[in-house]
Each structure stands twice: as C-alpha cells, then as structure tokens.
Structure 1
Amino acid sequence: MKTSFIMNASARYVLWACVLLSLFVLLRGHNEPGGGFIGGLIGALGFVFHALARGAGATRAVLRLQPLTWAGIGLLFGILAGLPALLLFGEPFLTQQWLGATPIGTTVLFDLGVYLVVLGFALAFVLPFMEA
C-alpha cells in the first residue's frame, strides 16, 4: 500500500489524538451528551486512519489484542456493571450503584464496556477489508 509521507508521519499523532478525544467524550458523556458509543466510534476512527497510513498489520500491533477480544472485554464490563445491583442490593439488573462515597457509579463501567464493544466491532469489521 502506497501512502503519502505526510499521512505516514502523522498517523501515530492522529491515532493518539483520536484516542484522547474519544476518552474525553466517553467520560463527558456520563453527565452530558456523548458516552461510550460515540467515544468508541471516534477511537475506531483513529485506528482506521492509522491502518490507512501504515497498514492493518501495524494497527493490529498497536492494538496488541484482536479487535473481537476488545469487544469481548467490553461485553464483560457491561455485564459486570449490572451485577452489583442484582447480587448485592436485590435491585433490577443494571440499576446504577454508587461506588462508596465517590461520584463514580456503575454506569461508568457500563459506558466503558460500550466503548470497547463499539471499538472492537468497528475494527473487526474494517481491518479485514484493509488486509485484502
């Protein structure tokens, strides 16, 4: 795959800028618009740009795990976010619970799970097309 020098040189910076922006949107979405879904799409966009510039193999190396593994971890986080309400408090599954005296609740864990599921499935869909 032939790419421009500028695209190749900027790929790493664009990737990490997108990841940082996606994490900001993920955390901001707890109280305002945004959240795990749009954050995961923004993060996936950074990885897709990296794959366009440097190839899918280099992007898979940056990911360290397969995209579907990231999606599975996210699904596990989503399930774990609902268990405290069900098992500890006898409330319906996915009812938000606060973690001690902190302003962090189980919804943050659920949003992180959504983020990883969206990121993983988006990359699992796109990267095989870039390898062909």
Structure 2
Amino acid sequence: MNSIILQTTSRLILPAAVIFSIYVLLRGHNEPGGGFIGGLIAAAGIAVHAIPRGRTSLVSMLRVWPKTLIGAGILLAVLSGLPSLLLAEPFLTHQWPFPSLPVGTTLVFDLGVYLVVIGSVLTFLSYYLEEH
C-alpha cells in the first residue's frame, strides 16, 4: 500500500499510541489496563506505521524480529514468578519489595505480557506486509 495520507498521519499516530500504551501499561496493576491492552494499543500504532512502509521498515523500526519480543516477554513473565518461589510461596504470588511504591513483580509480569502481545500481533502482521 502506498498511501501518502496514511504515511503522513502514521507519523503522528505512532508516538501517540506508544505513549498511551505505556500509560495504560503502568496503571494496569492498580486500575483497569495492563500489559495486554497496552500491548494491543502499541501494536496497533506500530501496525498503522508499518502498513504503508512494508516489512523491511517494520523490522528496521523495531530493530529486532517480532518473534524475539515474544521470547523476551515470556522470559520476563516467568522471571516475575521466581521471587515468590525463593520466599516459599506459590509461583506468581507477586511481591512488593518497596511497600511505599506501587512497584513490584506485577509490573515485570505486565511488561512481559506487553512484549508478548506486541510480538504476536506484529509477527502475524509481518506475513501480510509487502516488501518495499
């Protein structure tokens, strides 16, 4: 697809989508949102940017193949459960090492889900993008 309108507007949509997705990701463990919906928002913004530019542009923008994001996300999600095992609690019982801050292993898990969703959507999309 070679649309000048989509190429131009996607330059505005991509940063707005990524910023909003990070906002949704960070508020997810206290309020509605989180890694899944944040990842979908980011993937939608990246998809709008990649559709008029092709597969090569998608990979060069991400700097890694989307399947790498899936692996990194799964690794983060699994690692988020390990602190609970070290404390003899059930796996994925999230820990809050800093009681005064709302930061704990839940955020690491959500970040893993965020990366898996982005990687999955963009892997699917990459098979349908044209080469430019």
> Does the pair score TM above 0.5?
yes
1:40-70 CA-to-partner distances (Å, cap 9, x unmatched) read 0100001110111222211211100110101
Contact 1:70 1:119 in 2 (8 A): yes
Q: Distance in 1 between matches of 2:54 and 2:114?
A: 23
Structure 1 residue runs of 4 or more that deviate by more than 6 Å after TM superposition:
none
Match of 1:96 in 2: 94
Size of the aligned set, in residue pairs, is 130
Residue of structure 1 equivalent to 2:52: 53
The 5 Å alignment of 1:34-113 reads 34-87=33-86, 89-101=87-99, 102-113=101-112
The answer to whether the 8 A contact 1:71-1:121 is kept is yes
RMSD: 1.3
In the alignment, the residues of structure 2 paired with residue 128 and residue 81 of structure 1 have an alpha-carbon distance, to the nearest angstrom, of: 31
Q: Deviations over 1:8-51 (max 9, x none)?
A: 12322211111111111111111111110011010000111011
Give the secondary structure class of the aligned counterpart of 2:81: helix
Q: Percent identity?
A: 52
Q: SS where residue 31 of structure 2 aligns? A: coil
- Which amino acid letter does the alignment assign opposite residue 2 of structure 1? N
**Which residue number corresponds to residue 16 of structure 1?**
15
Mapped partners of 1:39, 1:79: distance in 2: 19
Instruction: Give the superposition deviation at 1:100.
Output: 3.4
Question: Counterpart of 1:61 in structure 2: which amino acid?
Answer: S
In the alignment, does 2:29 pair up with 1:30? yes
Please list every run of 5 or more consecutive structure 1 residues that lacks an aligned counterpart in the other structure: none
TM-score by length of 2: 0.92
Distance across 1 between alignment mates of 2:9 and 2:54: 14
* Structure 2: tracts of 5 or more residues without a match: none
- The amino acid across from 2:13 in the alignment is V
